[in-house]
Chain A
Amino acid sequence: MAEARPTHGVEWAIAGAVVSFLGLVVVLPLISLVATVGRAPWEAVAGLSTGEAVNALGLSAAVAAIALAVNGVFGVVGGLALVRHRFPGRRLLDWLVDLPLAVSPVMTGLGFLLLFGRTGFLGPVLERLDVQVAFAVPGAIVATLFVTLPFTVREVALVAEEVGTVEEEVAATLGATAAQSFWRVTLPKIRHGVVLGVTLTVARALGEFGAVLVLGGAITNRTMTATTYIHAAIEGRQTSAGFGMALVLAATSVLLMSAVQRRTSR
């Protein structure tokens, strides 16, 4: 049989193709963004110092924090349940968890609007309770929770599958209660999955646009998030503020991912 190892030429060609592709779709857009803002940085700073921009960033941060907390907890519980337990409806749950990845956020927002809107199914109930979801902050939160649901569940399930349950059995024979076993054995074992999952959750929460726009309404100073601010800024021809905000989001994402990379590749 012939030597199966590719020659250097082939390796270089493959590497070159991969790097060019990544450069085109990942690096070049980022560079254009930096270059554009860099041409007049003070304008971007001025645009970002307005109350609207600060409020938008604040809401995005708050929504991302809530998504982190809620979907972090749900992700750990759900991910472990999917891998370790057999219960009725497990397959349905397994399927539902991936749904937000497949459904367009705009459709998601619309679906929620038909549920929570004034004429929606839950509209009368919400009105009696005097709670407004659609075109209000809760709307932005609900929309974000939905689109960020899969990340922690999936990462936790992946790691939990890999690490198995023998250490938990050890802990039981050593006298650990279920709670001790969870906090002192299970959680440390799956922590890489949790960290990666919640990081992706935060990154996705900060970047969500469609669902938040449809359900939240992008009302200035009320339900406008960082992404909907960019959209509004560009529509309103305040391009430098929009670019500045885009750069802030991009930098945050890059920082988040590189922090995770360092932690999980140890």
Chain B
Amino acid sequence: MSIRLDRVSRSFGAGPVVDDVSLAVQAGELVCLLGPSGGGKSTILRIIAGLERADAGEVWLEGQRVDHLHARDRDVGFVFQHYALFRHLDVAGNIGFGLSVRRRPPDFIRARVAELLELMGLGGLERRFPASLSGGQRQRVALARALAPAPKLLLLDEPFSAVDAQVRQELRQWLRRLHDDVPITSILVTHDQDEAFAIADRVFICRNGRIEQAGTPVEILDEPASEFVAQFIGDVNLLDGVVRDGTVWVGPLGMAWPARDGACRVVIRSYDLKFWCMNPGIASVARILPMGDRVRVEAILDGGQALFAQFPRRSSLLLGLEKGTRIGVEVTHARCWPIQARVST
């Protein structure tokens, strides 16, 4: 089911939570709304589902305007953050709820519930009550319940935030496979960039009720549209630079950058840096921090600006590096924003 939001806004008392948002999702896509808490992601999802009304703007599902439709008539599956299972119903009762309120015949419901139990790996749990299930099981029951009426659109609001890290990984992979197996369009809200980049076809970055950038994970990682996006999506260095004759300089560190002369902010992801021993070099190592499979190396550029890089534990770039070593620095990818533009936005 294709989705289109056209200039949708919503305010709660203090100010706009969703501010003039337009977005389009193609049928069959899995997209993520990614952003910090309070950025309006969940509200956008709730407006699409019909759980919240928009103050202004239009919501279109499959080419039909649905603003006037109640949530129950939108044919949308919704998975809530904290499962929200019906505590008084067993697993089968929960999964079958959407079919039973639509008055499907009991035989049909039984068959569909059995099919979903199988699909979700919940076989044997149909008579258990939610209180006796693990977090991962509960989340799969919630998902099965949302999928039971065969919606064409699946909306997931931070679905994996309440389960522990390992289960989250599994559920993520599993959701991606499920999405590919079932003809469905999915929108997932998350504040976890790893999650978004791991499973989404496209990512919408939300901030202060607006969409800051939309694109594939690679587009966003390589070409963040703003300093905020660059900073939000991962471990980045944020530095003050000056552009002169097509090169941006951060102290002694120069990178080719075609822009007009002037002060700018430079964003370099920690994976887009190379350090190696070199005397005299342009920086010295300040700290080396092992972080499991990675090593974080912090350095001070001549002129005083600090930056850090991350390398795999066995990287040859780490050879001979220790505190105080003089190093050379190479930047494989960077983005710059003129300071004036920042003020004007």
A interface residues, Cβ below 8 angstroms from B: 166-167, 169-177, 180, 184-185, 188-189
**B70 touching A173 by the CB < 8 A rule?**
no
Cβ contacts under 8 Å, B102 to chain A: 175
Q: How far is the CB of B246 from chain A (nearest CB, A)?
A: 54
The distance in angstroms between the C-alpha atoms of A223 and B49, with both chains bound, is 57
Given contacts A166-B80, A170-B78, contact A176 B101 (CB under 8 A): yes
Which listed residue, A166, A167, A172, A189, touches B72 by the CB 8 Å rule?
A172
Task: Kindly supply a per-residue 1/0 record for chain B positions 65-79, scoring 1 wherever the CB is within 8 Å of any chain A CB and 0 otherwise.
Answer: 000001111101110
**A173 touching B78 by the CB < 8 A rule?**
yes
The distance in angstroms between the C-alpha atoms of A188 and B84, with both chains bound, is 14
**A184 touching B49 by the CB < 8 A rule?**
no
Would you mind naming 20 contact pairs between A and B with Cβ atoms under 8 Å apart?
A166-B82, A166-B84, A167-B84, A169-B80, A169-B84, A170-B145, A173-B51, A173-B72, A173-B74, A173-B76, A173-B77, A173-B78, A174-B72, A174-B98, A174-B101, A175-B98, A175-B149, A177-B101, A184-B101, A185-B86
Cβ contacts under 8 Å, B76 to chain A: 173
Q: How far is the CB of A111 from chain B (nearest CB, A)?
A: 41
Task: Kindly supply a per-residue 1/0 record for chain B positions 90-116, scoring 1 wherever the CB is within 8 Å of any chain A CB and 0 otherwise.
Answer: 000000011001100000000000000
The distance in angstroms between the C-alpha atoms of A167 and B148, with both chains bound, is 16
Cβ contacts under 8 Å, A180 to chain B: 101
The distance in angstroms between the C-alpha atoms of A173 and B72, with both chains bound, is 5
Q: How far is the CB of B82 from chain A (nearest CB, A)?
A: 7
Main secondary structure of the interface of A (DSSP, over half): helix
The distance in angstroms between the C-alpha atoms of A173 and B87, with both chains bound, is 17
Report the nearest A residue to B81, measured CB to CB.
Answer: A166
Whether B146 sits at the interface, judged by CB under 8 Å, is: yes
The distance in angstroms between the C-alpha atoms of A175 and B88, with both chains bound, is 19
The distance in angstroms between the C-alpha atoms of A177 and B72, with both chains bound, is 7
Q: How far is the CB of B47 from chain A (nearest CB, A)?
A: 13
Report the nearest A residue to B102, measured CB to CB.
Answer: A175
The distance in angstroms between the C-alpha atoms of A185 and B74, with both chains bound, is 20
Known contacts A166-B84, A170-B80, A171-B101; 5 additional CB pairs below 8 A are A169-B78, A173-B49, A173-B77, A184-B97, A185-B86
Chain B 125-169 interface residues, beta-carbon cutoff 8 Å to A: 145-146, 148-149
Cβ contacts under 8 Å, A167 to chain B: 84, 86
**B146 touching A173 by the CB < 8 A rule?**
yes
**A175 touching B84 by the CB < 8 A rule?**
no
